[in-house]
Structure 1
């Protein structure tokens, strides 16, 4: 793998974990209580940004290959696995969420 691919994986990991690390929507808008819908929206936006960067890298390297639905299912699952550490920290380890 080349260095842009490692950078892309690192950015995907950061974008996947960012929604669970802050109370701000998209890191900009302060929210009083951030619920799971906000997290899912931010995960979707982060995935779209990551996918756009991946497409840009592939287009710079040559012809962009057509992908079937299986490719997108696997990339979404990988993205959700990347988000797992911050999800666990937010909902299971963080003391502020205990009742």
Structure 2
């Protein structure tokens, strides 16, 4: 696997956890004193999935020929993205804080 491939995997691992480790929208925009809802976190995670996917397509096109992908590719990569989000989900919702 090339360095660009590992870069995308690392970026996906970080991007999948961003919605859970902070109370800002996309880790930049403050949303006020209220806590982010789970639906907002899911929407943010989906948006980050597509953003990182576009970066991956750009790197693939820059490296050579870009391959066409079917629905199976998107189903598998989104499932991997959800699995990558497990540490952040665990930290946000399953760890008890005192």
Using the size of structure 2 for normalisation, the TM-score is: 0.90
Q: In the alignment, what sits opposite 1:62?
A: 64
Q: In the alignment, what sits opposite 2:2?
A: 2
- Structure 1 residues not aligned, in runs of 5+: none
- Which of structures 1 and 2 has the larger relative contact order (alpha carbons within 8 angstroms, sep 6+)? 2
| Structure 1 runs of 4+ with >3 Å offset | none
- Structure 2 residues not aligned, in runs of 5+: none
Shift of 1:13: 0.5
Q: How does 1:5-44 map to 2 (within 5 A)?
A: 5-31=5-31, 32-44=34-46
Root-mean-square deviation (CA), in Å?
1.3
Using the size of structure 1 for normalisation, the TM-score is: 0.89
